[in-house]
């Protein structure tokens, strides 16, 4: 999702973060001894870092994603809704440019889920969550069709227009993605490319 590599946090820092995170989670709590936290700075929020928090000692495993304001114990837990991201965009505030717009779009779609599932940005065949490994010829054909995110234009009002290839449930389609300066995202001009793709269902998990 991000080009830079993650940093694994040390136990003492993990413990202090988990003490705060556990105040905001429902159900099973994170065990600081068993929890791994990976951290990375993100280019569109200058004063925040992204945390990937996981505890695989539980069944089922626990995983949450959060942003931490640097040098504070202030956290924003992601909840798969766009509202949480939009609120943080206003608070941070978000700063978008040609250098970070792709990172933001990849991040947004990786952490927002609707009632019909999650839109997955497909820049190549590896982005698809296959139910069964496809034949080589299928993978080769898809890689010739799918393309990386592409900026079509940046309008005078600061809105970015991007070309993107997406997977929703069993459909792969081409679309235009519009990103406003405040981080709000919309799509239009859908062109269905492939139906009945044998993927793992993002809602049912099968």
- The DSSP bridge partners found for residue 139 are none
Q: Are 121 and 57 part of one and the same domain?
A: no
What is the pTM for the complete model shown?
Answer: 0.90
pLDDT at residue number 206: 38
Considering only CA atoms, which of 16, 108, 104 is closest in space to residue 53? 16
Task: Output the six-digit token pair for 174.
Answer: 């081409």
Indicate whether 206 belongs to any domain: no
Indicate whether 19 belongs to any domain: yes
% of the chain with per-residue pLDDT over 90? 75
203 pLDDT higher than 60 = no
Bridge pairing between strands 160-168 and 120-121: antiparallel
Indicate whether 22 belongs to any domain: yes
Q: Are 111 and 181 part of one and the same domain?
A: yes
Considering only CA atoms, which of 173, 177, 198, 197 is closest in space to residue 187? 177
Q: Are 64 and 111 part of one and the same domain?
A: no
% of the chain with per-residue pLDDT over 70? 95
Considering only CA atoms, which of 94, 38, 35, 39 is closest in space to residue 62? 35
Rounded to whole angstroms, the Cα distance separating 30 from 35 reads 7
The stretch 78-86 carries a mean pLDDT of: 97
Q: Backbone phi, then psi, for 62, in 5-degree steps? A: -95, 140
pLDDT, mean over the chain: 92
SS3 156: coil
pLDDT band at 27 (very low <50, low <70, confident <90, very high): confident
The total number of structural domains in the chain stands at 2
What's the domain range around 119?
A: 101-194
The stretch 108-136 carries a mean pLDDT of: 88
Indicate whether 61 belongs to any domain: yes
Indicate whether 185 belongs to any domain: yes
Rounded to whole angstroms, the Cα distance separating 206 from 161 reads 34
């Amino acid at each position: 999702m991000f080009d830079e590599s993650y940093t694994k946090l040390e136990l003492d820092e993990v413990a202090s973060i988990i003490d705060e995170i556990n105040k905001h989670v429902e159900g099973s709590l994170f065990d600081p001894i068993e929890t791994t936290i990976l951290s990375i700075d993100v280019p569109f929020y200058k004063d925040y870092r992204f945390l990937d928090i996981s505890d695989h000692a539980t069944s089922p495993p626990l995983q949450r994603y959060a942003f931490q304001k640097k040098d504070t114990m202030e956290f924003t837990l992601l909840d798969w809704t766009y509202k949480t991201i939009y609120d943080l965009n206003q608070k941070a505030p978000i700063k978008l440019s040609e250098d970070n717009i792709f990172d933001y779009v990849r991040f947004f779609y990786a952490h927002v889920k609707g009632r019909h599932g999650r839109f997955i940005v497909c820049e190549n065949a590896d982005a698809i969550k296959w139910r069964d490994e496809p034949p080589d010829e299928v993978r080769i054909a898809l890689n010739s069709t799918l393309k990386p995110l592409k900026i079509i234009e940046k309008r005078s009002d600061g809105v970015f227009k991007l070309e993107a290839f997406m997977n929703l449930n069993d459909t792969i389609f081409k679309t235009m993605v519009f990103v406003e300066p405040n981080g709000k995202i919309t799509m239009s001009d859908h062109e269905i490319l492939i139906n009945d793709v044998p993927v793992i269902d993002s809602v049912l998990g099968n």
